[in-house]
Each structure stands twice: as structure tokens, then as C-alpha cells.
């Protein structure tokens, strides 16, 4: 069985940056917490807790002098609340998420109706909506509310959404309303990974997508892959099942932007081991 690993598999720029920020803070010797899980990957969060970095899920749970904010961003209200405390707040929000926050805020101030492709309860959208409380969050053209044709409309996206969906809803808005501006805020890592996975899925007999089950960008990779081929989304190697690989000539492995290299390596080794066992 051939095993192909996607080139883009693993930490993206924003996650790498956040991981380095946390490590640098942890090395200073003071207790460090992240606000909420730093990224949506329980395996990595477990590794952080092994070096003493835990997460606080509310201001009351903060018991450290240093708090690192998550890649998905926090709300404006929480930012103000943390600033009032006697704390060092280190901002690890991905700069691409910051850009979405800023666009939503600026265009709202300019009187635009802001429409965001995203998941209402995702931390990134919760943070973005705190900058633009009147923004509409949509997941399909059906979710777009009836809007005043005289209004200016901005259409943006959560950074980790499906590019296909973004273009579909964008075209619908452009056809339906006269004053629409679209700014594609899906980040490069998400877009490249989706493109790579869609090409890979056409060539292989099975796709394995590794990443947290709550990770938006990982779930999008699963959706892209399963359009073409049988696909399993797993968190780690322990979720692999040997039967999946019966009669598989080539397996493709891809991983979300918050999946650490050690998880990818481990999955690859397990699959190689299934292969070796079959050859005996
Ligand atoms: Fe940032 Fe995109 Fe990664 S928004 S955290 S570079 S998936």
C-alpha cells in the first residue's frame, strides 16, 4: 500500500506563531494559562498541560500572572475585562482573524450590512461578532436574511470556511443585491489545504484526515475529501481501524492546521505497521 502525506498537513502560520508565543512565555518560569484551549486539538493541549500550561475558561479560572489569548481571538468585552486585571495579557490571535475583526468593525461603522460565512458558535465568530454585533452569520444562501436593496453589503468569511461555499454565497449576493462588496477572508493555509486535499482525494483509494473534531478547518478538509473518496476523520492513531485498509492501494493522509506533527507521524507509522503485518 502506498501512503501519501499532504504537503500542507500540520500547523499553519497562525498556530505555529501561537505555539511559539506560549513556549516563550512558559520558558520565563512564571505560570502561564491560555484563555480557552489555545487551538482545537486535544492532543496538543494535553502536551501543553504536561509542561504546566493549562487553560482558563472564564476570568474566575485565571490563576496565573500571564494569560495567552487563543488563535481564534477573544471578544472585545473580555479584552477590556482582562486589561483591568493585574495580568500580563499576551495576544496570540492569528493576524488573519484580527483582519476579519477589523473589517467587520470598520464596515459596520460605515453603515454596511455585514454578512459573514461561518458557524455561529465558533469562538472566531463569537470574537468577530463582538466587533460587529449586527452582523449576520450565514452558512448557506438560505440563511441570508431579506436585506434592503438600498443598503451597502459586505460579505466576508470565518478564516477556515469552505472556499466553494464562499464563492457560492458571494455570487448569490452579487446577483441579488446591487451594492455588494466581497472580501475573501479565508486564510491562505485553509484555501491551499482544501485545494491540495481535493486533488489528492481524486487520486487515492482512501483518505485519512487527522485533527480535532471541533477544528473547523479539519472538518472542511473532511467534507472536501469525502466528495471524491471514502474518508475517515480521526483525532489520533488509536482511532485507526485495520479493516479500513483492506484492498486499499493508495491512502492519502491530510491534517488540519492545528494538528501537531507528532500526531501525523504516529498515524503514518500505524498505517505502515498494518502494511508490514499484512506482508508477513
Ligand atoms: Fe490563522 Fe488560518 Fe491558521 S486563520 S490560525 S493561518 S488556519
CATH of the domain at 109: 3.40.1010.20
**Domain shared by 66 and 123, yes or no:** no
> Among all chains, which residue has been given the C-alpha cell 470598520?
106
Crossing angle of the two packed helices 216-226 and 188-203, in degrees rounded to 10: 30
> Among all chains, which residue has been given the C-alpha cell 477544528?
215
pLDDT at 184: 98
Tell me the best of 40, 103, 186, 190 to mutate to test the pocket of ligand 1, counting ligand atoms within 8 Å of each CB and taking the most.
190
**Domain shared by 87 and 109, yes or no:** no
**Domain shared by 111 and 128, yes or no:** yes
**Domain shared by 196 and 267, yes or no:** yes
Contact 225, 207 (CB under 8 A): yes
Last residue of a domain, one of 160, 182, 204: 182
**Domain shared by 153 and 206, yes or no:** no
Contact 6, 31 (CB under 8 A): no
**Domain shared by 174 and 101, yes or no:** yes
Report the atom number in ligand 1 closest to the C-alpha of 39: 5
- CB count in 10 Å sphere of residue 60: 7
* Domain assignment of residue 204, given as a range: 2-10+188-279
Q: First-to-last CA distance in the chain?
A: 14
**Ligand 1, atom 1, residue with closest C-alpha:** 14
pLDDT at 279: 66
**Domain shared by 194 and 269, yes or no:** yes
| Pairwise CA distance, residues 163 & 140, whole Å | 12
**Domain shared by 166 and 226, yes or no:** no
| Pairwise CA distance, residues 21 & 62, whole Å | 18
Contact 101, 127 (CB under 8 A): yes
**Domain shared by 168 and 205, yes or no:** no
pLDDT at 16: 96
Q: Write out the chain's pLDDT in tens, 280 residues.
A: 999 999 999 999 999 999 999 999 999 988 999 999 999 999 999 999 999 999 999 999 999 999 999 999 999 999 999 999 989 999 999 999 999 999 999 999 999 999 999 999 999 999 999 999 999 999 999 999 999 999 999 999 999 999 999 999 999 999 999 999 999 999 999 999 999 999 999 999 999 999 999 999 999 999 999 999 999 999 999 999 999 999 999 999 999 999 999 999 999 999 999 877 776 6
pLDDT at 280: 61
**Domain shared by 147 and 227, yes or no:** no
**Domain shared by 193 and 274, yes or no:** yes
What does the DSSP 8-state code read for residue 32?
E
Q: 144 phi and psi, to 5 degrees?
A: -70, 120
What does the DSSP 8-state code read for residue 11?
-
Last residue of a domain, one of 46, 70, 92: 92
pLDDT at 248: 95
Give the distance (Å) from ligand 1 centre to CA of residue 169: 22
pLDDT at 30: 85
Element (H, E) at 155: strand 153-157
**Domain shared by 176 and 197, yes or no:** no
CATH of the domain at 29: 3.40.50.11270
Q: SS3 string of 223-265?
A: HHHHCCCCEEEECCHHHCCHHHHCCCCEEEEEECCCCCHHHHH
Residue 182's SS3 state is strand
Last residue of a domain, one of 42, 60, 92: 92
Give the distance (Å) from ligand 1 centre to CA of residue 68: 17
The tally of domains found in the chain comes to 3
pTM: 0.92
Amino acid at each position: 500500500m502506498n501512503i501519501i502525506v499532504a504537503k500542507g498537513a500540520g500547523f499553519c502560520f497562525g498556530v505555529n506563531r501561537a505555539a511559539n508565543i506560549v513556549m516563550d512565555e512558559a520558558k520565563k518560569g512564571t505560570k502561564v494559562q491560555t484563555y480557552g484551549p489555545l487551538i482545537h486539538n486535544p492532543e496538543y493541549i494535553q502536551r501543553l498541560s504536561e509542561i504546566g500550561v493549562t487553560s482558563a475558561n472564564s476570568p474566575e479560572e485565571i490563576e496565573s500572572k500571564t494569560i495567552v489569548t487563543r488563535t481564534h481571538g477573544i471578544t472585545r468585552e473580555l479584552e477590556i475585562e482582562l486589561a483591568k486585571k493585574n495580568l500580563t495579557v499576551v495576544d496570540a490571535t492569528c493576524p488573519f482573524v484580527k483582519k476579519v475583526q477589523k473589517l467587520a468593525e470598520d464596515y459596520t461603522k460605515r453603515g454596511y450590512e455585514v454578512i459573514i460565512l461561518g458557524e455561529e458558535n465558533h469562538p472566531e465568530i463569537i470574537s468577530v461578532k463582538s466587533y460587529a454585533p449586527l452582523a449576520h452569520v450565514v452558512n448557506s444562501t438560505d440563511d441570508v436574511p431579506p436585506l434592503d436593496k438600498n443598503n451597502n453589503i459586505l460579505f466576508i468569511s470565518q478564516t477556515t470556511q469552505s472556499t466553494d461555499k464562499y464563492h457560492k454565497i458571494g455570487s448569490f449576493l452579487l446577483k441579488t443585491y446591487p451594492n455588494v462588496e466581497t472580501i475573501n477572508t479565508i486564510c491562505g493555509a485553509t484555501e491551499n489545504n482544501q485545494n491540495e486535499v481535493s486533488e489528492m482525494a481524486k487520486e487515492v483509494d482512501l483518505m485519512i484526515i487527522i485533527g480535532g473534531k471541533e477544528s473547523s478547518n479539519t472538518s472542511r478538509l473532511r467534507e472536501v475529501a469525502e466528495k471524491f473518496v471514502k474518508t475517515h476523520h480521526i483525532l489520533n492513531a488509536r482511532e485507526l481501524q485495520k479493516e479500513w485498509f483492506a484492498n486499499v492501494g493508495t491512502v492519502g493522509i491530510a491534517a488540519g492546521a492545528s494538528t501537531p506533527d507528532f500526531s501525523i507521524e504516529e498515524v503514518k507509522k500505524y498505517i505502515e505497521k498494518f502494511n508490514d503485518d499484512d506482508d508477513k
